[in-house]
Amino acid sequence: MTPAATTIFPVILPVSEADQRLSGRDKVKALSRLARSALMKSCEKSGLHLDSFPKNQKGVPLPVGGVHWSLTHKSDMVGGVAAALPVGMDLETIRPVSDALLAKVASEDEWKLVGGNRRNNFFRFWTAKEAVLKAVGKGMVGLSHCRVVAVVDDAHMTLTYDGTRWPVAHYWFGDHVAALAARHFSASWTRY
């Protein structure tokens, strides 16, 4: 029997105008701090507890007491998620992209799964792959091992990483899209 899917509660927070005006290290620090606030809200919603945010030497978040976590920060929005299983989250602002990036994100076989305009679909693929690569702790160095194998609808697709299947859920708002990856889950998104 298939086990019931875990509900995961990703949280998205807006960056204040004052923080958006920061630059350099001050901005990185402010966004990192705000993403951790989103993570704590995700903990509250899911009844999970995190009191530290350790990372390994490569900057990969480490689970604490069985609680896995993932962060994403862009200049105007941040996201955070905690879960009792490996999890990855990514967030992007939809914007024009170069032909080189279109070719980098997906193969011809993967593009055939969506049809339509590649520029419109680019950020679905990009955020889905980033979310899976964060869940497996690889970051972009693992990009060539990650493939889109099924597109269910606008909000759901399946990827593989070295042959292991990773469902991904998308959440669209304004000119942004967020993606969440875990092995077996349903997503309950909150945006403040």
Ligand X SMILES: CC(C)(COP(=O)(O)OP(=O)(O)OC[C@H]1O[C@@H](n2cnc3c(N)ncnc32)[C@H](O)[C@@H]1OP(=O)(O)O)[C@@H](O)C(=O)NCCC(=O)NCCS
Tell me the number of residues near ligand X by CB under 6 A: 19
Helix (H, G, I), strand (E, B) or coil at 30: helix
**Residue 122: which H helix or E strand, with range?**
helix 118-135
Please tell me the total number of residues recorded for the chain in this structure.
Answer: 192
Residue 12 pairs in a beta bridge with: 79, 191
Longest dimension (CA), the chain: 52
Interacting stretch for ligand X, rule CB under 6 A, among 13-21, 134-142, 149-157, 180-188? 134-142
Q: Tokens 């927070």 correspond to what residue?
A: 13
Restricting to residues 72-101, name those near ligand X by CB under 6 A: 72-73, 90, 101
Smallest separation, CB 9 to ligand X (Å) = 18
Q: Hey, which residues between 161 and 190 contact ligand X (CB under 6 A)?
A: none
- Show the beta-strand stretches assigned E in 16-145: 68-73, 77-83, 88-93
19 binds ligand X (CB under 6 A): no
Q: x/- string (CB under 6 A) for ligand X, residues 28-57? A: ----x--x----------------------
| 130 contributes a contact to ligand X by CB under 6 A | yes
Q: How far is the CB of 2 from ligand X (least distance, A)?
A: 27
By CB under 6 A, which span of 38-46, 58-66, 108-116, 182-190 interacts with ligand X? 58-66
24 near ligand X, judged by CB under 6 A: no
Candidate ranges 3-11, 14-22, 59-67, 162-170; the one touching ligand X (CB under 6 A): 59-67
Q: Which pair of structure tokens corresponds to residue 117?
A: 């305009």
Angstrom distance (rounded) from CA 85 to CA 48: 11
Going by C-alpha positions, the residue among 150, 170, 185 that lies closest to residue 158 is 150
**Residue 62, token pair as written in the block:** 């480490």
Site for ligand X (CB under 6 A): which residue of 38, 46, 61, 178?
Answer: 61
Cα distance between residue 5 and residue 2, in whole Å: 9
Residue ranges in contact with ligand X by CB under 6 A? 32, 35, 58-61, 71-73, 90, 101, 126, 130, 133-134, 137-140
